[in-house]
Amino acid sequence: MIATIQPIPMFFAALSAFWRGLIQLPRDGAFRFSVKFGLAGILAVYVTLLNKSHQPTWALFTVFVLMVGQYIGAVEEKSILRMVGTVIGGLVGYILTASLEQDPLIYLSLLGLFVAFATAMFGQSRYPYAFLLCGMTSLVVSSNGLSNPELSWTFMIWRIQEVFIGIVAVMLVQSLLWPRYAATEFLNGLRGIFLDLRDFMQAARSGNLTNDLAFDSRLNQLRQLLRFGGRESRYFRAKIDTYVELLTCVQRLHVAMRPLAEIRLRDSFYQESLSSEVAELRDAIECELSALGSANISNSSLRDGLQRISKAMESLKKTIRNLRQDPRSREANLGGILEMNLEFLSLEEIHLELACCLDLLEGLPSRSKNSLRSDKRFLLPGVPNSFWITNGIRSALSMVTAMVFMNWLQPPGGVTMVLCAWLFCCLLPSSPEGRGDHRAWHVVVAAVPCMLLLSLALLFLTPLLSSYAVMNVLIFTWLFVYGQIAYSTPGVTTVMNIAMMALVSILGLNAQQPVNFQSIADVFFGISTGTLIAAFFQRTLWPLLPQREMRDRFVEMLDIQRGALARGALTPDSMARLSLLPGEIKIRLANLARPVYTAVEVKNLRDLLDHLDRFSANRIWESNLSQIEGGGALTAKIRDHFSKILEKISISFSTGQSFSLDCEDLRATMREFEEWIAAGRLKMMEENADPLLCSNLLGQAARYQHASDYIIAAAETAATLETSVYSGDNSL
């Protein structure tokens, strides 16, 4: 019998599903953010038009860049820096234009130097947004006042006034409508990351672990929330130092768990003797992580959970001590012995880090007067790296070129062209896509037809755009869609930058006068020619390319590892950087140009990254086997081999020379190491050394073996790479 379709029940089922989704929509974070984005833009435009401001586009531009911050603390920080940067940049632009515009060589040189300096300082870590706004505002005031220098001060005043309106609009909407507080989301994220650790440990336990690189990104997001949260609450700010230490403990917890996923051999004797104690300890740890991830848990319950872990750990230690008396322990496979002790060492480290986490949580400052004091010291800006120095120079040259064209040829949309030439050259290389300047011409090819279609649409819609109601609907819709993209996108992508410039330019069409053909032509030619100028300088002067970025990050990773081997420790900053580098490299690998970088080459690079990351996870720079006779000299010899291999790979990336290194010396040393550790173990047993000390040392020895395997695999993979192509600019 053929089943018949029943359209009416299906219709009502679909309608019911649609209605349920519609009801839940206001609870959706992206929807809320998009609504706020649109309302903030409409409010800013309304106030500027009501105030009969000269350029409402600057208020809308302010809404774009501030709303991306999403959190109250982030918006406050960016608002302060934007206002400071706008005032200083406006004064510089006015002074230069009003006094030196008649001497173009001096004028353009000084303006270019200032913009280059501001752009370069955007790349350092303190007050970067203020420096960016200094450069942008000086550029806006100069380009608008170029035709009438003696009145350039009016553009400075209008710019400051409209930026202030944009700031107030954003702060009102963000504060009154579904406010998001970084402090609250940090605490939620902190609980979530403990649950992530629990899931990670369960996956490692079952052998289903796939990729854990996302953990480091989440940890970095929590560090960002700390800074924003400190601006929202003095009480939260008083806790920041403790939270920073807590995040360090969380990172070390993750590192301690990683070896649990790589236990290669389980000796049957130890499996039979210790399985129940190990399972009990793992269960206790996972329960404690679940408790730390709970929103409603008391300190006493957490202490009870820690006590359970301690009891399970003591039970495991007792069993390990008792195994010394079992004659079968002498006959166990050495590989199985080392793996068992590696597992014990990792679980012991997890126990200690969890105890540290609880101590920190219980020691958080209270709401006393002393805890509300904050550090008000002004920190001097840092020094930008070489990329941002060169990026500042070429962005300034792009801007100066656009200003010369504007003054000489007087093309349509000259002011927009100048801003786009600088903005795209400055920001697009560092966009989160990881493409750098590689696809700068692709941006031109895509942007020009899109702007042409937009301009044609504007021509047909000219009568409608003369209505403020229609323009407001267009602005709100555009901002709503932009908010949907920005909500889940870290940073501002190339498409988002172009969309922002397009909408800001469209708003300029209908300030207080009807739209005309010349205004639409200004939008098209301004953005198109600005993008073209920016692309030219991006691809001809110090281009930032994925292959070079990938190469430099590999070199940085290798240098950090070598430094840790030499010093015997990682600094907190190096530890954080080492955890983020694999993710940054993977983004660049996805953007390598084909067919220059074949699928096989990319796979080999991924394998090399995986081997180096797993090598880092063993943390042999923290291991110390000198307590066993001859251990200090032998492990120093092994670390020296490791360092030489890392150095050779680094040199290969830096110079483009093929990597070639025979690892037979390392293999021979590791065979000597295995014989030494086997003899050392028997000797410690004969001397009746503390079984727990023996277990700790054997766990460290297992880390040396794992690290050796990964460094040899890294060397073999590096030998297959064509590193000569990572320095060149192979395709446009």
Dump the DSSP string for 645-664: HHHHHHHHHHH-PPP----H
The pLDDT of residue 1 is above 50? no
Are the C-beta atoms of 717 and 600 separated by less than 8 Å? no
| 604 and 627 belong to one structural domain | yes
Residue 3 has pLDDT above 50, yes or no: no
Instruction: Give the amino acid at 333.
Output: N
Domain closes at, from 319, 345, 370: 370
Q: Are residues 71 and 173 in the same domain?
A: yes
Under the banding of pLDDT at 50, 70 and 90, the label for residue 175 is: confident
Q: Domain ends where: 306, 337, 370?
A: 370
- Let me know whether 192 and 256 are in one domain: yes
157 and 115 within one domain:
yes
- Average pLDDT of 12-28? 58
Assess if residue 38 is contained within a domain.
yes
| Interval 521-540: pLDDT, tens | 888 888 889 999 999 999 99
List the domain range (segments joined by +) for residue 680: 546-726
**Is residue 83 situated within a structural domain?**
yes
pLDDT at 124: 83
Domain count, the chain: 3
- Answer yes or no: is pLDDT of 647 > 90: yes
pLDDT above 90 covers a percentage of the chain that reads 25
Check residue 626 and give its pLDDT. 81
Report the alpha-carbon distance of residue 348 to residue 309 in Å, rounded: 10
Residues 430 and 488 in one domain: yes
Cβ atoms of 284 and 305 within 8 Å: the answer is: yes
Tens of pLDDT, residue by residue over 232-277, are 777 788 888 888 889 889 988 988 888 887 776 566 667 777 888 8
User: Looking at the predicted structure, is the pLDDT value of residue 345 above 80?
Assistant: yes
Average pLDDT (530-552) is 91
Residue 18 inside a domain? The answer is: no
- How many residues can be counted in the chain? 732
Same domain, 224 and 319: yes
CA distance 716 to 663: 9
Higher pLDDT, 617 or 375: 617
Asked which of 540, 574, 601 is the last residue of a domain, the reply is 540
Is residue 13 in a domain? no
> 3 lies in a domain?
no
Q: For residue 13, what pLDDT is reported?
A: 57
Q: Using pLDDT thresholds of 50, 70 and 90, give the confidence band for residue 119.
A: very high
pTM of the model: 0.85
Q: How many C-beta neighbours within 10 Å does residue 572 have? A: 12
Q: Where is pLDDT greater, at 332 or 33?
A: 33
* Same domain? 459 vs 394: yes
The answer to whether residue 447 is domain-embedded is yes
Give the model's pLDDT for residue 372.
42
For residue 611, pLDDT beyond 90:
yes
Integer Cα distance of 543 and 540 in angstroms? 7
User: 569 near 668, Cβ under 8 Å?
Assistant: no
Of 11-15, 30-34, 430-434, which range is least confident?
Answer: 11-15
Residues 268 and 400 in one domain: no
Domain presence at residue 619: yes
Q: Which residues contact 366 (CB under 8 A, 6 or more apart)?
A: none
Of 723 and 506, the structure prediction assigns the larger pLDDT to: 723
Q: Are 173 and 202 within one domain? A: no
Q: What pLDDT, on the 0 to 100 scale, is given for residue 368?
A: 47
Q: Which range, 60-64, 519-523, 551-555, has the best average confidence (pLDDT)?
A: 551-555
89 is written with which tokens?
């940049």
Q: What are phi and psi of 409, to 5 degrees?
A: -90, -20
How far apart CA 287 and CA 525 sit, in angstroms, is 62
Give the confidence band of 371 by pLDDT, cuts at 50, 70, 90.
Answer: very low
Considering the domain architecture, whether residues 585 and 603 belong to the same structural domain is answered as yes
C-alpha distances in Å from residue 85, one per residue of 124, 131, 138, 421: 15, 6, 9, 20
Same domain? For 715 and 577 the reply is: yes
Pair (569, 693) in one structural domain: yes
Confidence tier at 407 by pLDDT (50, 70, 90): confident
Residue 227 domain-assigned (yes or no)? yes
